[in-house]
Structure 1
């Protein structure tokens, strides 16, 4: 057993926390409730959108990774996550519009 909480529970917690601090969050694509990867689209007015997800750090611990495609990449963020989802139907895609989104995502996805 990995000790990680199910993905569906983590997504619900992230959306609730976002709502509790006055932000807006929505599930763009629902993945596997037990173990799907969670990709978070962070949107803020006047700022470029970003993609965040949990991944392995240099020493094996879980860290938050910025998976935003490089500027000029074909199609942008929406096309990127749709391509990923076509290869991984278990992928969750969540969009958050909230101040301090990176901290909220890290605190939710990196909790043990």
Structure 2
């Protein structure tokens, strides 16, 4: 079993890195500090897309696409809000920075 850093530490590190690089990172919903699931909303132009941290069978974290595949940001908003109602432990973080997925991978997958 691998040691996983608490979610609140990973979120804090991601917020600092993105903000230090001139982007915008906002916590839309705070979840369980130690082991809450993490959903990342990425702003792309006028749209949104979502990725989620998941633990694989090999006990390694990976980033996978999440939510509806539509370009409609309203659908994605409804998706994460419904998820949050069902899972109060879920963290939702929005990023507005070029190459956002790289920031997420470097911050979250390297631990």
TM-score (norm 1): 0.87
Aligned to 2:22: 22
Query: Cα deviations across residues 47-73 of structure 1 (Å, max 9, x unaligned)?
Result: x31101111346453211011312288
SS in 1 for 2:82: helix
The alignment of Structure 1 onto Structure 2 pairs a total of residues equal to 110
Q: Distance in 1 between matches of 2:44 and 2:18?
A: 13
| Alpha-carbon shift at residue 106 of structure 1 (Å) | 1.0
Matched, 1:34 2:21: no
Q: Distance in 1 between matches of 2:62 and 2:93?
A: 18
In terms of mean alpha carbon deviation, does 63-72 or 25-34 score higher?
Answer: 63-72
Equivalent residues of 2:48, 2:71 under 8 A apart: no
Matches within 5 A, 1:1-112: 2-46=2-46, 48-57=47-56, 59-71=58-70, 75-112=74-111
SS in 2 for 1:43: strand
Distance 1:79 1:11, change over 3 A: same
SS in 1 for 2:81: helix
Distance 1:20 1:72, change over 3 A: closer
Structure (1/2) with the larger strand percentage: 2
SS in 1 for 2:28: strand
Segments of structure 2 that go 5 or more residues without pairing to the other structure are: none
Q: Distance in 2 between matches of 1:21 and 1:10?
A: 17
Segments of structure 1 that go 5 or more residues without pairing to the other structure are: none
